[in-house]
Amino acid sequence: MSIHSFDRVHFEWHHMASYADLFEGAEFTTYAHDIYHQTSFRKSQTENWLKRIFYKIEFLRLKTWEARAFGCMDRIFIPSEKDMELLEKLDSSLKEHCRVSKLSFKIYSRRSAEFNGTPILGFWGAYSRMENVDAARTLVHTVLPAIEAQGAVVKVKIAGAHPPASFGQFPKEKVEVTGFVDDPGEVLRSLHLAVLPLQFGGGVKIKVLECLSAGVPVVTTPVGAEGIPCSAEQGLIVGGTTDELARAVVDLLRQPERIASLSRAAASWARSYADTDGAVLL
């Protein structure tokens, strides 16, 4: 960088804007996958007063830093209108530099087999991210008991890399923890439903889009569904509380023909929505 000059520099994650001072006279672009101050604000909504103070301070620090980082960008690509609104609240002048560009994500072949035996509910994610660990634990410890209380008998599959050791305490007769899988599509196609009770994180959740692409209807929270213009009739069902999530799951399990219909709709929607050429920077 000290030897060469650059006309344009793209920061694929906007925290890379920390290096902007190294490039004199260059045009800057970035893709804002997540808005970090939103994530910190959500984490601050905890009953633990020490964590609440920490994350509120982090929220204010990140809000100030992101206003400066985005302010030096000539063009900002974002995955949804929701993120456009967040940036406009951060600094109204940013809107003229923003462009909503759909995310590229893996399209998996749709499941086609009829299901037999005990229904399988799945969670798919990378457990190096705290929000996925929290959501998987919520599924097992909170949502699953609420589903069972309504008389449903199900199993849960927790799939993805880097599961923490604490997942080994899940009841093995009910919960399978796969760890890293070579073929995520095979795992997704084994699920009746994906249940993603996410409470933290920002941006558009790729895991939701990937599940839909495999024809797996998704039951999730408003945080999990934000920025994804997919309706309940297209396979994305939203519940704000544990009871709402559990009720949605049980209602669907009682209507296997509806799950089949939503499976087709979800796969079709994902294919129509996906950025298949990856041309977000044109």
Is 108 within the bounds of a domain?
no
Our CA angle for 2, 17, 208, nearest 5°, is: 135
Domain count of the fold of the chain: 2
Structural domain that includes position 156: 120-273
Segment 59-80, tens digit of pLDDT: 999 999 999 999 999 999 999 9
Average the pLDDT over 50-60 and give the result: 95
Per-residue confidence band for 46, with pLDDT thresholds at 50, 70 and 90: confident
Average the pLDDT over 110-127 and give the result: 88
Which pLDDT value is given to residue 276?
58
Q: Provide the mean pLDDT of the chain.
A: 92
Contact 211, 193 (CB under 8 A): no
Q: Residues 18, 58: one domain?
A: yes
Which pLDDT value is given to residue 158?
98
Cα(109)–Cα(232) distance, integer angstroms: 21
* Chain centre distance of CA 26: 32
Q: Which residue has the higher pLDDT, 1 or 78?
A: 78
Q: Residues 150, 268: one domain?
A: yes
DSSP assignment, residue 116?
-
Average the pLDDT over 168-182 and give the result: 96
Q: Residues 30, 152: one domain?
A: no
The last residue of a domain, from among 100, 128, 153: 100
Residues of the chain with pLDDT > 70, as a percent, come to: 97
Is 110 within the bounds of a domain?
no
Q: Residues 62, 91: one domain?
A: yes
Of 17-21, 179-183, 219-223, 248-252, where does mean pLDDT reach its minimum?
A: 17-21
Cα(217)–Cα(193) distance, integer angstroms: 5
Cα(205)–Cα(194) distance, integer angstroms: 13
Q: Residues 130, 200: one domain?
A: yes
Give yes or no for residue 47 having a pLDDT over 90.
no
Is 32 within the bounds of a domain?
yes
Q: Residues 150, 211: one domain?
A: yes
Q: Residues 78, 144: one domain?
A: no
Give yes or no for residue 205 having a pLDDT over 70.
yes
Is 280 within the bounds of a domain?
no
The last residue of a domain, from among 51, 68, 100: 100
Is 109 within the bounds of a domain?
no
Is 40 within the bounds of a domain?
yes
Q: Residues 258, 229: one domain?
A: yes
Segment 137-161, tens digit of pLDDT: 999 999 999 999 999 999 999 999 9
Q: Is the dihedral of CA 260, 265, 266, 271 positive or negative?
A: positive
Contact 182, 165 (CB under 8 A): no
Q: Residues 87, 181: one domain?
A: no
Encoding tokens for residue 131?
Answer: 């929000």
Encoding tokens for residue 181?
Answer: 């899988």
Cα(63)–Cα(59) distance, integer angstroms: 6
Q: Residues 252, 170: one domain?
A: yes
Segment 91-111, tens digit of pLDDT: 999 999 999 988 888 999 998
Average the pLDDT over 133-139 and give the result: 97
CATH of residue 68's domain is: 3.40.50.2000
Which pLDDT value is given to residue 203?
86
The last residue of a domain, from among 69, 100, 131: 100
**Which H/E stretch holds residue 261?**
helix 256-273
Is 259 within the bounds of a domain?
yes
State pTM to two decimals.
0.89
* Strand ranges (E), the chain: 8-11, 27-31, 75-78, 98-100, 120-124, 155-159, 175-179, 193-196, 218-220, 236-238
Is 245 within the bounds of a domain?
yes
Q: Residues 128, 186: one domain?
A: yes
Q: Residues 224, 141: one domain?
A: yes
Cα(221)–Cα(64) distance, integer angstroms: 28
Contact 38, 202 (CB under 8 A): yes
Average the pLDDT over 238-249 and give the result: 97
Per-residue confidence band for 113, with pLDDT thresholds at 50, 70 and 90: low
